[in-house]
Amino acid sequence: MSKVRISQLLKMKQSGEKITAVTAYDASFSKLFHENGIEVILIGDSLGMVLHGEDTTLGVSVEDIAYHTRAVRKGAADAFVIADMPFMSYPDPDTAGFHAAELMRAGANMVKMEGGEWLVDTVKHLTQQGIPVCAHLGLLPQQVHLIGGYRVQGKTKEQADKLIEEALKLQAAGAQLLVVECIPAALGKRFSEALHIPVIGIGAGADTDGQILVMHDMLGMNADYLPKFTRNFLVGHDSLAKAVQSYVAAVKDASFPGPEHTFS
Catalytic residues: 181
CB neighbour burial string for 37-49, b if at least 16 within 10 angstroms, e if fewer:
bbbbbbbbbbbbb
Sign, CA torsion 210/22/97/10: negative
To the question of whether residue 228 is assigned a binding role by annotation, the answer is: no
| DSSP symbol at 2 | P
To the question of whether residue 112 is assigned a binding role by annotation, the answer is: yes
| C-alpha–C-alpha distance, residues 46 and 36, integer Å | 22
Q: Which amino acid is at 80?
A: F
Query: Is the separation of the CB atoms in 82 and 90 below 8 Å?
Result: no
Classify 178 in phi/psi space as left (phi over 0), alpha (psi -120 to 50) or beta: beta
To the question of whether residue 239 is assigned a binding role by annotation, the answer is: no
To the question of whether residue 46 is assigned a binding role by annotation, the answer is: yes
Provide the terminal-to-terminal Cα distance of the chain, rounded to the nearest Å.
36
| Residues contributing to the annotated binding site for Mg(2+) | 45, 84, 114
| Residues contributing to the annotated binding site | 45-46, 84, 112, 114
